[in-house]
Amino acid sequence: MTVLISIAVAMAAGLLMTRAFNLFKMPDVTAYLVAGILIGPFVLGRLGIPGLGFLSYEELGSLDILSNLALGFIAFAIGAEFTLPKLRSTGRQAVIIAIVQALMAVVFVTGALIVCHFVFPDKLSLPVAIALGAIASATAPAATLMVIRQYKAKGAVSDILLPVVALDDAVGLVCFAVATGIAKALQGGAVDIFGLVVNPLLEIVGSLALGSLLGWILTQVEKLYHSNRNRLTLIISMVTLTVALSSLELPLGPAALSFSPLLVCMMLGTVFCNLCPMAEDLMAREDRWTAPLYCLFFVLSGAALKLDVFSDPVMVVVGIVYILFRSLGKYFGSRWSAQAAKCDPTVVKYLGITLLPQAGVALGMSLTAASQFGADGSVIRSITLFSVLIYELVGPTLTKIALTRAGDIKPMSDDVKYRRHNTLAAKTK
């Protein structure tokens, strides 16, 4: 019962916080994250009152299944952006930008942290600098999707943004696998060719294949139903099943076949939206159903952020360097690649600002690194947590500002304001 009360408190806190943040015209995502911090172990959780807040990170860990499910639905929704008409118009540009901006973030952060290694050799080792450089490639799709949906953004920047963020995950997986292989070799281990090349390629290909198969199955089964309510239930069931299957790991001789839940669910959405004629209407219904789940996901994400990363001044300095150079890599990488791909001028100018949020994928990479690098792993985890805390609080607002200046987020017209005012006035009589 305590868990259910905590979930109810989390959702209520997120909703109430949006009212306060609306006064400052800030995105709901940021409000959810701040609400999570307030009810997390570092604030209300310290009071030790069960149900009022989350008392420990172990309690939050018991709700990971909800966070994983929310990420599955987020990736499924992003997959809808890869319909054939959109791929024909932005596919080539999205691929170029996704690869270049991710690699530029890796280069900028790795170079800057190698310099930090020589300044703080006892705090930051060379393998840690290389691993963190690879983690810098990852961009959080969840916050970006939520901002676009909340403000109904539509235009040149938002059209290419979600495909770039989705492809960014695949590039990030390869970068991370290669970087960790190099870092392990520097620690004294032998270079593992399977860990360096084969495993990440297997993960990407396997994820896309599994997602395609499940997407085709979903499309065929959907034809058996004529009620939108039953179709919605089918979609929810299939996304849940996909998240579960994505956690499997199959040994293949010296290699291992694992799956990326984000890539599998994204491919599920891509195949479904390209093959099912009813997909657009069903995706709109699914969006309304998942809104409370997204709220809970971001509140839990905020509660899981560890504020004790500020306790070590050196880690704060390294974290600031990481954030600064990752931002520069993302911005200039997207700007130069968008120019090379002959994108719209607004894409060249504003896309890089929208690619700053970082969360789930980066945290997953840091957890993997923490288990592989011993004492150095805690350094990787701390700096990643520091950057996620800053990026998740600031990134959504920057995304909103960039999309507004690009013209993708339209200001509310006077007519809409007038009708909304009259409706509210009528309700209060």
Q: What confidence category does residue 333 fall into, taking pLDDT thresholds of 50, 70 and 90? A: very high
Task: Give CA separation, 418 vs 22, 208, 412, 421, in Å.
Answer: 19, 48, 10, 5
pLDDT digit string, tens, across residues 158-191? 888 888 887 887 787 778 777 777 777 776 655 5
* Residue 7 pLDDT > 60: yes
Query: Which residue did the predictor score with more confidence, 1 or 147?
Result: 147
* Residue 423 pLDDT > 60: no
**Least confident range of 97-101, 129-133, 163-167, 175-179:** 175-179
Nearest CA to 387 out of 329, 337, 336 is that of 329
User: 193-200: long-range contacts at Cβ-Cβ below 8 A with a sequence spacing of 24 or more?
Assistant: 194/254, 194/255, 198/255, 199/255, 199/256, 199/258, 200/173, 200/174, 200/176
* Residue 108 pLDDT > 90: yes
Alpha-carbon distance of 123 to 332, in angstroms, equals: 29
Burial class of residue 61, CB neighbours in 10 A (0-12, 13-18, 19+): exposed
List the beta bridge partners of residue 256.
Answer: 251
Place of tokens 């994928």: 361
pLDDT at residue 43 in the model: 82
pLDDT at residue 109 in the model: 92
| Mean pLDDT for the stretch of residues 423-428 | 50
Nearest CA to 262 out of 135, 172, 132 is that of 172
Alpha-carbon distance of 307 to 42, in angstroms, equals: 7
The token pair at 301 is 């994400």
Q: What confidence category does residue 228 fall into, taking pLDDT thresholds of 50, 70 and 90? A: confident
pLDDT digit string, tens, across residues 353-379? 888 887 767 776 776 676 667 767 777
pLDDT digit string, tens, across residues 15-24? 888 888 888 7
Residues shown for the chain: 429
pLDDT digit string, tens, across residues 250-297? 777 666 677 878 788 888 988 998 888 888 788 877 777 788 888 888
Place of tokens 């690879």: 134
Q: What confidence category does residue 329 fall into, taking pLDDT thresholds of 50, 70 and 90? A: very high
* Residue 52 pLDDT > 60: yes
% of the chain residues with pLDDT over 90:
12
Average pLDDT, the chain: 81
Task: Give CA separation, 186 vs 2, 113, 312, 319, 381, in Å.
Answer: 47, 16, 26, 22, 19
Helices and strands, counts by H and E, the chain: 18, 2
Alpha-carbon distance of 346 to 335, in angstroms, equals: 10
pTM, whole model, 2 decimals? 0.74
Helix, strand, coil proportions of the chain in percent (round to 5)? 80, 0, 20
Place of tokens 């968008």: 338
